[in-house]
Amino acid sequence: MTERSRQFGRLGESLAVRHLKKNGYRILARNYRNRFGEIDIIARHGEVLVFIEVKSRSSARFGSSKAAVDLNKQKKISMIALGYLKQTRSTDEKARFDVVCVDMDSKKPAVEIIANAFPLAYG
C-alpha cells in the first residue's frame, strides 16, 4: 500500500468518524487490532456495540464502496469482532456490523452509514 493510499484511507476514516458522531455513535476505538486483523472503528450506538468497516472510494471505477465488503471480508471482520468480545469479556452484549461508505468523487464527499450491513459470518 502506498503512502498516498494510506492517507486517502485515513481521510475517509476521519470523515466517517465525524459522520458517526453526528449520528449519535460514541467512538470506543479506531484501528483495533488483534491476531485476526484490524477493524476500522468500534463504537457504541445506544445500547449496541458496533463494529464498523469504512470503505472509501475516489471513483466508481473499481466498483462501489458498498460492494467492497464481500463474504471473505465479512468473515474476517467477524473473527476480529469475536476476539474483541472475548478479550473485553463482552460476549453477552448486543452487537452488530455497520459499513460506512465514503465516496469522494465529487467536491463534497458523500458519507453513508449502512447499519446492520451483514450478520455474523464465520466458518
pLDDT at residue 3 tops 90: no
- The predicted model scores a pTM of 0.88
State the pLDDT at residue 25.
98
pLDDT per residue as tens digits for the range 36-80: 999 999 999 999 999 999 998 765 555 555 666 888 999 999 999
Q: pLDDT tens digits for 80-113?
A: 999 999 999 988 999 999 999 998 776 788 899 9
Q: Which residues contact 80 (CB under 8 A, 6 or more apart)?
A: 32, 34, 36, 37, 38, 39, 51
As a whole-number percent, the residues of the chain with pLDDT over 90 amount to: 62
Q: What sign does the dihedral 7-34-77-97 (CA atoms) show? A: negative
Query: What is the fold of 3-118?
Result: Trna Endonuclease; Chain: A, domain 1 (3.40.1350)
Per-residue pLDDT, 112: 92
